Amino acid sequence: MDILSEYSTILLGLAILFGFFMAWGIGANDVANAMGTSVGSGAITLKQAILIAAVFEFTGAFLAGGQVTSTIRRGIVDPALLAGTPELLVYGMLSALLAAAVWLLIASMKGWPVSTTHSIVGAIVGFAAVGLGVDSVSWVKVGTIVMSWVSSPLIAGIFAFIIYRSVCILILDTTNPILNARRYIPIYMFLVGFMISMVTFLKGLTHVGLDASFLESMAASAAIGLFVMVIGIYMQTKVEPHIDEDHELHLSRIEKIFATLMIFTACSMAFAHGSNDVANAIGPLAAVNAVVRSGQVSQESAMPIWILFLGGIGIVAGLMMYGHRVMATIGKKITHLTPTLGFSAELSAATTVVLASATGIPISTTHTLVGAVLGVGLARAGTKALDLGIIKRIIISWVVTIPVGALLAIIFFYILKFTFGG
């Protein structure tokens, strides 16, 4: 308590600085999950993507980022173990924020899409291991997170492969693609409306007091999907098919339709991402704020409005300054994307998120989207369509994320402990 009283202003100032840095890292690296495929496929420009993401990421973070957050997310460590030494929790959260933010900065500079959740989890594991002992870490929880390295890209890749092949079989590879597009695109529009609504209900609106069950979310999402489909059918009746046009022109028209659908998926995924993943930055900050002000450790921490605002601004700043690097990796370097390929990848990612929420399968949104891009690349032209060198570097960055986060957190934890005492 003496340490917290003496250095409260400094510690809270560091928490604000490190929390903003972490939010900046989320914007620089993780926002590519929502926008990379849209930019890479040519559905929207980089400037348009930054504008859309800035609006929807900030809106999601600020309006739906959560009024209350767990002191230590993901159940990696029991906060009760720190009840007698609240200053260690402050050091731990500060070191975790700084460690994860530094790793995200490095990864973003290299254009590596890494998981922000894995970054903060690795950092929390590091500080807990040296601050409380190795036995204090829930290694079962860590193991389920490691499982997502395989489950996320595998599930999303399978879905993406199936979705894109269905587009080819039903529309692109037929003798009359424009007529088949009129017949089948409304079905894809329903799927977009349904899946994106489900993602928004499950990831984007869970923090605003919306106590909807999974079945209730499904019913509302199905209604939204039907509404989107009806609008699509109506709009198609206003457009003449021009059957006599060149086959390539037909395909070009179809790609434009899918490009329009991708704008809706990008907006919704950005909102859901901002509302959900901002907690990786503002959760530890809220915990430090609560401990510094009360001198006690609690299971949950209140989320002041200014912290939500800080997190939203940090995400937007990181996106604008460095987001283009990871967007380029996901959207262009792994494989060449067209709107139909990008649409298939985004719909696959949304489907995987919904499936994971329903079954409890641990997934990473970053790994999910990369797996989806790999899936559409394989569906298009097999392994020759993929840049295996880029993929190898991405996988290595995934494997080292938790250990690097832990190592950096250990270093920063000892520096803080030596500086302030305790």
Spatial CB neighbours of 124, under 8 Å, sequence gap ≥ 6: 72, 73, 74, 76, 77, 92, 96, 409
DSSP 313-335: HHHHHHHHHHHHHHHHIIIIISS
Spatial CB neighbours of 67, under 8 Å, sequence gap ≥ 6: 207, 302, 303
Alpha-carbon distances, residue 130 vs 74, 134, 152, 409 (angstroms): 19, 7, 30, 10
- Chain position carrying tokens 């989107």: 228
Q: Looking at residue 72, what is its pLDDT?
A: 59
Q: Looking at residue 70, what is its pLDDT?
A: 58
- Considering just the CA atoms, what is the radius of gyration of the chain in Å? 22
Average pLDDT by stretches of 10, the chain with 422 residues: 81 95 92 83 87 85 65 67 83 94 95 90 91 86 82 93 96 88 90 86 66 84 91 72 67 86 82 78 87 78 82 90 89 91 91 81 83 94 91 93 95 93 72
Which one, of 78, 22, 14, lies nearest residue 288 by Cα? 14
For residues 7 and 153, give the distance between their C-alpha atoms in angstroms, rounded to a whole number: 45
Cut 0.85: pTM above it:
yes
Amino acid at 368: T
Q: Looking at residue 250, what is its pLDDT?
A: 76
Q: Looking at residue 242, what is its pLDDT?
A: 60
For residues 300 and 287, give the distance between their C-alpha atoms in angstroms, rounded to a whole number: 8
What number of H helices and E strands is found in the chain?
14, 2
Q: Looking at residue 144, what is its pLDDT?
A: 83
For residues 396 and 121, give the distance between their C-alpha atoms in angstroms, rounded to a whole number: 18
For residues 176 and 416, give the distance between their C-alpha atoms in angstroms, rounded to a whole number: 67
Q: Looking at residue 204, what is its pLDDT?
A: 62
